[in-house]
Amino acid sequence: MSQIKVRINGRGNAWPILLGQDHPFYDRTNYEDLANASCSIIKSKNKHPTEKDMDWDLMIDAGHGAVQYLLKNCNRIPEAIFLTHPHIDHTLSLDWIVQSYFKLNKKRYPVYATAPCWDKVKITFPHLAEMVDFKEIIPYQKITIIEVEGVDLIPYPVYHGKSADGATMLFFSIHDGQEIRKVLFTGDILCPLLRKKDYQTIENIDLLVCDANNRFPYPKSNHWSILNGLQNQRSEILSDFIKKSSVESVLYPHLNNQIADNYCRCFDYFLNKELLLTDFIFSISSFVELIKPKKAALIHYSGSEDEKYYEQSILNSAELGLWIEDQFQKSNLKTKFIVPYVSEHIYFL
């Protein structure tokens, strides 16, 4: 009987290991461990499926190393790709995948993204415009995925710096027999742009796959952190960022002059409310406390800002897992935290 699971195709940040350096978390001799953060929701009969027993594969982001992973592990083209944002460490393999599909099938390949995101991607890969069947996703609006049965998606906007036009987290609902599996992929994120009712929608989900670039806050990296600060104290670096920034600045990549008015109207909630940046979430810990996922998988770890600005060592996979367990053991959270390896198949509790 086929099962739904999430597969880790890559877990790395933009540059997991700088050339000439080493990194405790990544093995520079293993190309799979150097692939950028990429995941797939898959339906298959076996724990480590081959191309023959895969029912379908929906791929979330496709940066460095994603194609090499696919070639080695199943050698099949995913049914569709979903982009969280337009940065090249999440899109580089798109060209290879689209070209493969187009040459083999003589038709366009389905790519789901927001319009601002896709416009940015086309600047990098202008030739793909004629090979991609672009499926626009609109913030806060549910869409049914037509390439496979029983999958719905709601994109929720996020802020990941001024260059990440149309960046979103992707919330999937997947019919799995009598169950509905709910999975949220944050993509790269400094803060989510969620309304009160959105938090209710994603509460108690089965799995959260999230950007864990930093243990401690460094907003200039445009990534949130696992904790708000050291020893439960908000970091002065984060507090200073909040003082000097504004709600308008985190909305900018969704509201700049090059983005269509119909897209911009999705953000009326934030424009019509008297919100402060202190109302936004800048850490995994705060996010998990609100939505209470059953399981949280932490990927995209760097730790370089922790070392530089907090004098905290960069950890390896086992150490990061133990550190997270120690940080949350005194809380009442029932969330199970994992630091997945590449090729890991994450099953639902």
Tens of pLDDT along 223-277?
999 998 766 566 899 999 999 999 999 999 999 878 888 899 999 999 888 899 9
The number of angstroms, rounded, from the C-alpha of 335 to the middle of its chain's C-alpha atoms is: 18
Mean pLDDT of 37-62: 89
- Other CB atoms within 10 Å distance of the CB of residue 231: 5
Task: Using the predicted structure, report yes or no on whether residue 1 has a pLDDT greater than 80.
Answer: no
The answer on pLDDT for 184 being more than 90 is yes
DSSP 118: H
Report long-range pairs for 258-262 (Cβ below 8 Å, ≥24 apart): 258/116, 258/119, 258/165, 259/115, 259/116, 259/165, 259/166, 260/115
- In this prediction, residue 60 has a pLDDT band, given cuts at 50, 70 and 90, of very high
Contact 327, 39 (CB under 8 A): no
pLDDT value at residue 15? 94
Query: What does the pLDDT read at residue 233?
Result: 60
pLDDT value, residue 53: 85
Q: What pTM was computed for the model?
A: 0.96
Q: What is the structure's pLDDT at 102? A: 98
Give the HSE-up count for residue 163: Cα atoms under 13 Å, Cβ half-sphere: 8
Residue ranges per structural domain of the chain: 3-346
Tokens of 274: 């008297």
Average pLDDT, the chain: 94
Q: Tokens for 327? A: 């940080």
Higher pLDDT, 230 or 325: 325
pLDDT value for 231? 62
Query: What does the pLDDT read at residue 51?
Result: 74
pLDDT digits (tens, 9 = 90+) for 74-96: 899 999 999 999 999 999 999 99
Options 3.40.50.410, 3.90.1560.10, 3.10.450.50, 3.60.15.10; which CATH number does 3-346 get? 3.60.15.10
Confidence of residue 333 (pLDDT cuts 50, 70, 90): confident
Q: How far does CA 242 lie from the centroid of its chain?
A: 23
Q: So what's the pLDDT on residue 229?
A: 77
User: Which region, left, alpha or beta, applies to residue 187 given φ > 0 means left and ψ of -120 to 50 means alpha?
Assistant: left
Retrieve residue 315's tokens. Answer: 């950890």
Which of 26-30, 198-202, 327-331 bottoms out in mean pLDDT, i.e. has the lowest? 327-331
Give the Å distances, CA to CA, from 128 to 66, 82, 107, 118: 18, 15, 12, 11
Q: What integer pLDDT is reported at residue 155 of this predicted model? A: 98
Euclidean distance between CA atoms 94 and 37, whole angstroms: 14
The C-alpha angle with vertex 122 and arms to 162 and 255, in degrees rounded to 5, equals 35
